[in-house]
Amino acid sequence: MMYDPGFQPIYPAWLAYLKRARSSGEMPLQVAIEREDGLVSVFQAVAPVKDGDPESTYRIVERAVKFLLWSRGGWRIHFQGPAAVGRRLKADYSETGARAFDARTMSAVYERPFEVALHSAATFPEAREAVHFPGGYLDGFRIGFDLGASDYKVAAVIDGEPVWSEEIPWSPGEQSDPEYHYEHIQAGLKKAASHLPRVDAIGGSSAGILIRRQIRIASLFRSVPEALFESKVKGLFDRLAKEWGVPFEVINDGEVTALAGRLSLGETGVLGVAMGSSEAAGFLDNDGHIPGWLDELAFAPVDLNPEAAMDEWSRDRGVGANYFSQQAINRLALAAGLSFPAGMKLPERLKEVQGLVARGNMQAARVFEQIGAYLGSAVPWYEVFYSFRNLLVLGRVMSGPGGKIIVDKANEVLAAESPATAARVRIHLLDEKSRRVGQAVAAASLPEIQGVRP
């Protein structure tokens, strides 16, 4: 028995759309996402010339455009394709359209007015990507940290080996005073420093969207008033870097997941997915560099069911945050007939369900099976937008026996539904300790140290 019988994975619908487009005469369809510094990511597909089902065409193309927007990140969508589709995209991704949340958020992140630009082939922009080889520096005495919604993880690392690590509970989303966040992070760093003879570098990861170490948007600071966010939160890591006076790098937690994959697997072509309070993702390409994309797959669609779970932020349905997170565990557990005390928060509900699995409860085990079914169906859809050979899954949801259930079910569904993808992509689950604190250890490797003292 599965607990989400209405689930409609997008990949089969995408294949059906492409088949329909090619059989009815095809025309080019191109989407480009433009972000900071004139960087442009280009995606190419096809559209039907004679379209007998324009509503279905728009539905699947819009889902692909939204996936591109949140995987790449940017302040401008460039579109070349059917004129009617372009006009609807322009209307929907506007301040008053159905995707107003997406437009407003990207405008805030990139500090530019958001727009959809319609093109002919002659005016469509060329791709311009960044090349960034992240982390992997193991020398010296380092501190790594990973900021999540229910706890933050800190590690003291010597020459790439963790000598101390801890998960420290906190409640950042409920705090309106940013000094709470600063003091907790600073206390964790000092605690890690007490386990080292000196500190040569500090590397960190954080939930949310960061550009050049600056926090642009993050649920960790959702209760901070806008004025305080601008003056106290945006440059929080710059403040810490100045006070510590050592190389100090912070990137998105998903990117560190991909880096953790490279360090643990010794391979490139890694899509890392961390399932915690939300879904974080990061991508390390086949050449071993991070392209600097946004990788906010929490907002990327994975379910076409028009009655799918609704995201609390964007009010959109069927996006990753409700399928690969504590939120998903809670939703599915309730559907399975499990109950919780009214005041119990999501992290504690997750622990309760994990405990039930460990004690042999089949209802709870099937909750994790459903997550695995989601994941197995999502892998080929992810492969449409990312070229990867290794899918690394970690985070709090993957802890305990539930993590293995998720991976086993994902592999089963992937092999049955998309055998070609199953032959290319391996799903990896790290050991228990690495699942929980591996991101903090990987984050420690981010900064390059110049002239380390012997």
Give me the tens of pLDDT residue by residue for the chain, a chain 454 residues long: 579 999 999 999 999 999 999 998 899 999 999 999 999 999 999 999 999 999 999 999 999 999 999 999 999 999 999 999 999 999 999 999 999 999 999 999 999 999 999 999 999 999 999 877 677 888 999 999 999 888 899 999 999 899 999 999 999 999 999 999 999 999 999 999 999 999 999 999 888 888 888 898 888 999 999 889 999 999 999 999 999 999 999 988 878 888 888 888 888 999 999 898 889 898 999 988 888 899 999 999 999 999 999 998 899 999 999 999 999 999 999 999 999 999 999 999 999 999 999 999 999 999 999 999 999 999 999 999 999 999 999 888 999 999 999 999 999 999 999 999 999 999 998 765 555 457 788 899 999 987 544 4
Is the same domain home to 163 and 246? yes
Query: Which pLDDT belongs to residue 143?
Result: 97
Would 192 be classed as within a structural domain?
A: yes
Would 452 be classed as within a structural domain?
A: no
Would 130 be classed as within a structural domain?
A: no
Which residue, 208, 232, 254, sits at the end of a domain? 254
Would 135 be classed as within a structural domain?
A: no
Is the same domain home to 412 and 292? yes
pTM of the model: 0.89
Query: What is residue 55's three-state secondary structure?
Result: helix
Residue positions counted in the chain: 454
Q: Distance between CA atoms of 72 and 66, rounded to whole angstroms?
A: 10
Would 307 be classed as within a structural domain?
A: yes
- In sequence order, what are the beta bridge partners of 29? 45
Is the same domain home to 265 and 357? yes
Q: Distance between CA atoms of 199 and 67, rounded to whole angstroms?
A: 40
Its domain, for residue 108, covers 10-118
Query: Which pLDDT belongs to residue 437?
Result: 53
Would 382 be classed as within a structural domain?
A: yes
Is the same domain home to 327 and 345? yes
Is the same domain home to 249 and 260? no
Is the same domain home to 315 and 379? yes
Query: Which pLDDT belongs to residue 454?
Result: 40
Q: Give pairs for 447-453: CB < 8 Å, separation 24+.
A: 447/137, 447/142, 447/201, 447/202, 447/203, 447/246, 447/247, 447/248, 447/249, 448/137, 448/201, 448/247, 449/137, 449/139, 449/140, 449/200, 449/201, 449/247, 450/247, 452/139, 452/140, 452/200, 453/198, 453/200
Query: Which pLDDT belongs to residue 266?
Result: 85
Query: Which pLDDT belongs to residue 453?
Result: 44
Would 451 be classed as within a structural domain?
A: no
Which residue, 254, 282, 316, sits at the end of a domain? 254
Is the same domain home to 377 and 274? yes
Is the same domain home to 222 and 85? no
Is the same domain home to 202 and 293? no
Number of folded domains that form the chain: 3
Is the same domain home to 271 and 296? yes
Would 3 be classed as within a structural domain?
A: no
Which residue, 67, 83, 118, sits at the end of a domain? 118
Is the same domain home to 114 and 163? no
Is the same domain home to 374 and 313? yes
CATH code of 268's domain: 3.30.420.40
